[in-house]
Amino acid sequence: MRRDGERLRFVGAATRRIARGMDLDEIVMGLCRATVPAFADAILVHLREPLPVGDERPVGPVMLRLRRTDRIPPDRSGALDPLSALITGEAPPAEVRPGGPLDEVLRGVRPVFADTPSVREALSDLLGEDSGASLPTGQHAVLAPLRGRRRVIGTAVFLRGPERIPFEGDDLLVAAQLATHSALGIDKAVLYGREAYIADELQRTMLPETLPSPTGVRLASRYLPAAQTARVGGDWYDAIPLPGSRVALVVGDVMGHSMTSAAIMGQLRTTAQTLAGLDLPPQEVLHHLDEQAQRLGTDRMATCLYAVYDPVAHRITIANAGHPPPVLLHLGGRAEVLEVPAGAPIGVGGVDFEAVELEAPAGATLLLYTDGLVESRMRDVWTGIEQLRDKLEATARLTGADHAPPLEALCDEVLDMLGPGDRDDDIALLAARFHGIAPSDVASWELYPETAAPGRARRLARAALDDWGLDALTDSVELLVSEVVTNAVRYSTRPITLRLLRTEVLRCEVVDDVPQLPRLRQARATDEGGRGLYLVNRLARRWGATRLSTGKAVWFELNHP
């Protein structure tokens, strides 16, 4: 490499190879592979531990740890055999002592020959006195600091055997070029890695950690980040329990891949949860989401599908805002793409959304998904939807017509339809297996808000428990029903709804037209009332109160005897 032309061609090829690396290991490997054997017989790359990110100021002593080595085969360069123990083994981290030889070399930033006692002492500090390694003499070793944007982040040691031409002055310029490109690439890779990690964690914290277990339906979900594009996106899913044993199923996709998309996704998901708590119809939820997206900015657009499943009525109500249609897998094995008006994406503004009510038969499975599952560079969205339908039917045939495929396994089978070129986008998948609640397990009545209502409620509840063979719960249920209905009668002006549900637990629901929620309070010794909720809290397995658009629902649950 004596001629300038050869050096220029080598530097150009080496820097291109280094620049191809996307992460830390690829960049360091690119440096090693570009260097050995064209420029050196061996290379040792040390990096700071931990590596500083961006403008953060590391605390404590500077430690350098051997990150990667490379060398030509030993049979071609026996002179480097003394380095074998260091190159192939684990080396302890080297501390850069302030004012020491290694510290002085790093402060100088420029590559140096190992032909002076001070530089050889610096190399000895770097490699470790107990490493058993001996260095070539003369100008057969170059120590090059790796300086990033803010500070030195490591070193590269280039080695040549005694039988090879020693490094020359121009080779220091080559080493400087290699070190600079590598250090800047490492800086960017570390910063990108941290940002990608933060973005990924941000998005995952915005998704539900666990799914609820509502009555009459089983849920499963999957989320996969894009394989090639940014790791963070705007896909989300949610399952929100509603009053009356219903559940809202939501899936959405904010357009774009960025931290902004993830932040908008979080805001829209929170808004959807708040709107669900108001028990608004699906089309009204999408309307308010559309208004919220417009408040966030002029280009904040997303698709969303919002569905409400009622296990008592065995019905599902769905509204769509520009999202791919859901697919319903029937118990017999037929997969049906549901005809739901697509509507415009939320954020467009000035559009109406339409809801449709469909049957949700027991044993059927509803799949909600984002477009990353069915659309890619290799196929359009409708081709992907047909492939999804075929995949569901094929999976159902393997299970048999009388049995629904296991829900978790079904989700895995759906994701298996993705080919190597089908991961251009994030994928969110929410599956709901409908079981419903049989009419024989539901007892419902309307009570007028009058003083006789609590007594009538006790008699009706007692009769229902007798029919169900749950006489052991009669005393507790009569007491709790009486307390809850009494509170409702005190303020209501319209008929009160009392409903008992027999599932894995006994659930009682009382709905009235008063929006104020009851709260536990400490009753004084002289008070005649105010202790009803304490009885509910003491005797019930669980209880709660939810505000509705027309009032509120108070419920409690008891375990079967």
Q: How many residues does the chain have?
A: 561
Q: How far apart are CA 454 and CA 426, in angstroms?
A: 53
Provide the residue-wise pLDDT of the chain in tens; the chain has 561 residues: 456 678 888 888 888 988 888 888 899 999 999 999 889 888 899 998 888 776 667 677 888 888 888 887 765 544 445 455 455 556 678 888 888 888 888 888 899 998 888 888 888 888 876 555 566 767 888 999 999 888 888 999 998 888 888 998 899 999 999 999 999 998 888 888 777 777 677 767 778 888 998 889 999 999 887 754 445 668 899 999 988 889 999 999 988 766 777 788 888 999 999 999 888 899 999 999 999 998 887 778 899 999 999 999 999 999 999 999 999 999 989 999 999 998 899 988 878 899 999 999 999 999 999 998 988 777 888 999 999 999 999 998 887 767 888 999 999 999 988 766 556 678 899 999 999 999 999 999 999 999 999 999 999 999 999 999 999 999 999 999 999 999 899 889 999 999 999 988 899 999 999 988 887 665 544 444 455 777 888 888 888 888 887 889 999 999 988
Q: Which residue segments constitute the domains of the chain, with CATH numbers given?
A: 4-197 (3.30.450.40), 207-434 (3.60.40.10), 439-559 (3.30.565.10)
DSSP state of 60: S
* Closest to 142 (Cα-Cα) out of 164, 165, 120: 120
Calpha distance 284→352 (Å, rounded): 9
How many Å apart are CA 250 and CA 316, to the nearest integer?
13
Beta strands in 27-111 (DSSP E): 42-48, 62-71, 94-96
| Cα separation of the two ends of the chain | 88
Nearest CA to 41 out of 73, 1, 17, 9 is that of 73
How many Cα neighbours within 13 Å face the side chain of 114?
23
**Closest Cα partner for 106 from 29, 174, 46, 53?**
46
